[in-house]
Amino acid sequence: MFLSSIPLKERPALVRQHFNALNISGFIITRGDEYLGEYVAPHAERLAWLTGFTGSAGLAILLETEGCVFSDGRYTVQMAEQAPEDLWETRHSGHYPPQKWLSEKAKGMRIGYDPRLVSQRELKGWQTAGLQLIPLENNPIDLAWSDQPASPARPIHHHPPELTGETSRSKRDRLAQQLRTAEQDAMILADCSSLAWLLNIRGSDIAMTPIAHAYGILHADGTADIFAEASRFQDEPEDSGIHLQPPSSLSKYLKGLSGKTVRLDPATTPIWFQMVLEEASVHQVDGPDLCSLPKAIKNRVEQEGNRRAHKLDSIALARFLHWLEGNGTGHHETELADKLEAFRKLAPDYKGPSFETISAAGPNGAYPHYRAEAGRDSVLQENSVYLVDSGAQYPFGTTDITRTIWVGPAEPPQDVRCAFTAVLKGNITLSRQRFPMGLPGYRLDTLARSALWNEGLDFDHGTGHGIGSYLSVHEGPQSISVAPRPTGLVPGMILSNEPGYYEIGAYGIRIENLLLVQESPQKDSARHWLEFEVLTHTPIDRRLIDATLLTQEEKHWLNQYHAIVQQKLLPLLEDELHPWLKRSCAPLD
């Protein structure tokens, strides 16, 4: 995060001081940075600096006399706790969208936004009758934030084909052919993950996601420009078709595309690009980032790399859960997260976490994206529920896993076991489902919720997100959620499977494994069928399961899963862990 000497309650007033000079009556600030990323560097934590809300998704609208913070169901409680209630309303963005708030509170006003931080798709979502949305050259938060950290510009290094499974030239040639077929001359690359994948580069400009902050342009001849200082590159570009350009030349370069047809993704490209290209009379075509889908479809080398990453991660998780059983109570949540980190660090290939570990004791587990802070975190009590959601970065893969554990000698309460078993049933049902090639993920979402719904329970987040390959832990375009995203599932995609249930004030439950989409053999069928390979191999807490609520098929799947976990981990763990592993993987009757 960041530290600021400016008191939180003074910050909105400091921003408002610049409204008159900018000729606006309000300002909209999103969570994303100049690359529209989910995870941002300290200098781009503008939403958190202004409001105190530190969630990974959301926005705020600041008017001259009032303001509102918006986020989704993962963060509604956190927003209310972090944003001072005398300065900010807080709203669930799905139930009360920013557009509605603007239509009621800002009619007739000039509302500013930073075009470098906003996509075309976001801007359209805010438009409402009687409201003027004004792009600003100067961001009033940057003007008010006197101790704002500097933007990072850390080293960029080559990620070799033995880890990526394909050269940059091969990737660029494939996508350039699509540009030529569409009669497009170039494509803007504003998503740093796409740029990293396409050019086979990695960086460390933000914590936990190995990307480099830079923009790029892919041309129809297969060459590419990357706008980053040459001094940042630790290696030569992979081939002569990758050209380094100074970041200061970007605007001039874009204007030099006059008369050409340029592709932009309206969801991942700041609207600033559109403004510059319009000024230069460049013909613009909206279309999905051509890197997005092939990046999501892992090739054989990437698939094997992810299996290797999960193998190392499963060893670390087993050691941690074994230690937790006898030593966890009495420790603070941050200490528990540090202990898990220490076990991961035993693997030489470990590069760091893939996101900030959610280490949640008891009632804190009811916040799906809870963040423990040293000095303010809870102590894990005996006979309580502990939820840990964590992930790791390895040069050959990215992991994400959640386990919910009962800690203590007493038997878990029946309501907790019932909820846990309903979550488990959803996880199992999705894991074992066969489905047609190209089925959109949203059509599978109810499989993970059905058992919960039968108990009158549910969860207010997606069931599954895509996973990068030594890239972002959250990767599209595939997902499994209630949102009707049209991307079909195909072999090579990796998704999370993480149903949950959250009892506010009491506990949280989530069980998360990662799934690899694979072809499924099916006799006497003209259709292609798919199934999931479970990549995660970590025991699921048997003490929290009410076996009477499982069907025979569900018991069989769980017993088989635990048999595989034991078979894979037993040769890799120290002898003193063997009794714990065998007990944790023992079959249910």
Q: Inform me whether the pLDDT recorded for 577 exceeds 90.
A: yes
Burial 435-454 (b: 16+ CB within 10 A, else e): beeeebbbebbebbbebbee
Averaged pLDDT, 128-152: 94
d(CA 458, CA 453): 6
d(CA 439, CA 427): 18
Kindly indicate the confidence band of residue 2, based on its pLDDT and cuts at 50, 70 and 90: low
Q: What is the percentage of the chain residues whose pLDDT exceeds 70?
A: 99
The pLDDT score that the predictor gives to residue 227 is 98
Averaged pLDDT, 262-272: 97
Nearest residue to 45 (alpha-carbon basis) of 133, 174, 37: 37
Task: Give per-residue pLDDT as tens, 466-488.
Answer: 999 999 999 999 999 999 999 99
What are the start and end residues of each CATH 3.90.230.10 domain in the chain? 297-584
| Strand 392-394 relative to strand 352-353, pairing | antiparallel
Q: Inform me whether the pLDDT recorded for 188 exceeds 90.
A: yes
Q: Inform me whether the pLDDT recorded for 1 exceeds 70.
A: no
Model pTM? 0.94
Averaged pLDDT, 316-335: 97
Averaged pLDDT, 442-454: 98
Residue-wise DSSP of 92-146: ETTTS-HHHHHHHH-TT-EEEE-TTS-BHHHHHHH--TT-EEEE-SS-HHHHH-T
Phi, psi of 532 (to 5 degrees): -105, 140
Task: Give per-residue pLDDT as tens, 81-107.
Answer: 999 999 999 999 989 999 999 999 999
Q: Inform me whether the pLDDT recorded for 504 exceeds 70.
A: yes
Kindly indicate the confidence band of residue 526, based on its pLDDT and cuts at 50, 70 and 90: confident
Q: Does domain 157-294 have CATH number 2.60.40.1180?
A: no
d(CA 326, CA 408): 9
The separation between the first and the last C-alpha atoms of the chain, rounded to the nearest angstrom, is: 48
CATH fold for the domain made of 8-144: Creatine Amidinohydrolase; Chain A, domain 1 (3.40.350)
What are the start and end residues of each CATH 3.40.350.10 domain in the chain? 8-144, 157-294
Averaged pLDDT, 122-137: 91
CATH fold for the domain made of 297-584: Creatine Amidinohydrolase (3.90.230)
d(CA 199, CA 218): 10
Averaged pLDDT, 406-423: 98
